[in-house]
Amino acid sequence: MSLILGIESSCDETAAAVVEDGFEVRSSIIASQIATHAPHGGVVPELAAREHLKALTPVVTCALQEAGTTLDRIDAVAVTQGPGLIPALLVGLNYAKGLAAGNGLPFIGVNHFMAHIYGAFLDGGAGKLRDPETYPLLALVVSGGHTSLVLVGADGTARQMGCTIDDAAGEALDKGAKLLGLPYPGGPSIQKAAAAGDPEKYDFPRPLTGAAGKALSPENLYNFSFSGIKTALLYHLNGNPLREEPQFVADTAASFQRAVVDCLVRKTLRACRDGGAKTIVVAGGVACNAELRRLMAEKCPRGVTLRIAQPRFCTDNAAMVGGIAWHSFRRKEFTPLNADSFARLPRIVRVPFI
């Protein structure tokens, strides 16, 4: 039996978890920085770094306690190396290196995107992860910082098919909520407001989907763009005498959410078809969204299995870090202590779980 301590600090959640043999989550502690960033309407990287520094020791202590273990019974320390916000990543990375070096433990740097994909298999998905029939797997990783389509082949390589060319979907929802006067984080606020609204009331654009009859350039086939939807929302609200009316806000939130979700689903389906994927995984904070989960399930092609992470494994967490790292651990694939953080996804990544 191996116990891995996972640490995550890529954005605005400080998280630590103890995971046994890759799948059994013995503890998963998350300290959210929502209160720090709320006044700014989005994540401020330097503030995030400072908050991580304060939260790491209590969060790690709590994760060990809740797992009923101590550091001397841990077999390896794993941490998110990137992609993410560099100032935020560096705090967790250096903390984890210190823990590993100080306790003579192996150190494992984890790719955040691959960890998000792994999160969709934490809930009884061990068998599926190993099954060759699961691949190619297309993952939509969609959060406040990222919106990417990643194709994982049976040969264990992952490559990015497309990503956002401007805002991430979660960022668009967060900014949209701010324009609507709804609280941060915007995704859940918009979902809540949208529940009482008509998603077809207002027609927001669906950029880069070909929906407006415009041909898509080959380089944008699998890319996303959300800034146009946000600008359309701004014009829709500017000077509108109804903008304080609850029904107007609900209809606007529902229509705006539908436009964002529609873009995500259309692009994912296109990439799934063209990449010959047998599984679609949806992960990242926006994967909590009920409308996205519903529409994706409705549109998922016959013969393709849809796996959406449990909400607690959608948003940033360290269980996915401690879990995925076990696959490197058992192959004795460790990361050197001079490894650096990285902001973007490399073009091709090897996944450790195949």
For ligand KG4, the binding residues (CB under 6 A) are: 11, 13, 143-145, 170, 173-174, 185-188, 191, 284-286, 288-289, 315-316
With CB under 5 to 8 Å by kind, the binding choice for 20 among Zn ion, ligand KG4, none is none
Q: Please identify, using beta-carbon distances, which residue of 171 and 316 lies nearer to Zn ion.
A: 316
Residue 290, exposed/middle/buried by CB under 10 A (0-12, 13-18, 19+)? middle
Residue 326, exposed/middle/buried by CB under 10 A (0-12, 13-18, 19+)? buried
Q: Please identify, using beta-carbon distances, which residue of 20 and 316 lies nearer to ligand KG4.
A: 316
**Minimum distance of ligand KG4 from residue 52's CB (angstroms):** 13
**Minimum distance of ligand KG4 from residue 132's CB (angstroms):** 29
Distance, CA of 267 to CA of 150 (rounded, Å): 12
Q: Please identify, using beta-carbon distances, which residue of 167 and 316 lies nearer to Zn ion.
A: 316
Q: Please identify, using beta-carbon distances, which residue of 3 and 250 lies nearer to ligand KG4.
A: 250
**Nearest Cα residue to 279 out of 152, 114, 155, 158:** 152
Contact 347, 159 (CB under 8 A): yes
With CB under 5 to 8 Å by kind, the binding choice for 352 among Zn ion, ligand KG4, none is none
**Interface positions, 121-150, toward Zn ion (CB under 5 A):** 143
**Minimum distance of Zn ion from residue 66's CB (angstroms):** 22
**Minimum distance of ligand KG4 from residue 37's CB (angstroms):** 10
Q: Please identify, using beta-carbon distances, which residue of 286 and 321 lies nearer to ligand KG4.
A: 286
Instruction: Read off the DSSP letter of residue 301.
Output: P
Of the candidate spans 45-53, 57-65, 191-199, 315-323, the one that interacts with Zn ion by CB under 5 A turns out to be 315-323
Residue 316 binds Zn ion (CB under 5 A): yes
Long-range contacts of 17-22 (CB under 8 A, 24+ apart): 17/63, 17/317, 17/318, 17/319, 17/321, 17/322, 18/63, 18/64, 18/66, 18/67, 18/69, 18/74, 18/322, 19/319, 19/322, 19/323, 19/326, 21/326, 22/126, 22/323, 22/324, 22/326, 22/327
**Minimum distance of ligand KG4 from residue 216's CB (angstroms):** 25
By three-state DSSP, how is residue 30 classified? Answer: strand
With CB under 5 to 8 Å by kind, the binding choice for 188 among ligand KG4, Zn ion, none is ligand KG4
Q: Please identify, using beta-carbon distances, which residue of 180 and 288 lies nearer to Zn ion.
A: 288
Distance, CA of 186 to CA of 174 (rounded, Å): 4
| Chain residues that interact with Zn ion, rule: CB under 5 A | 143, 316
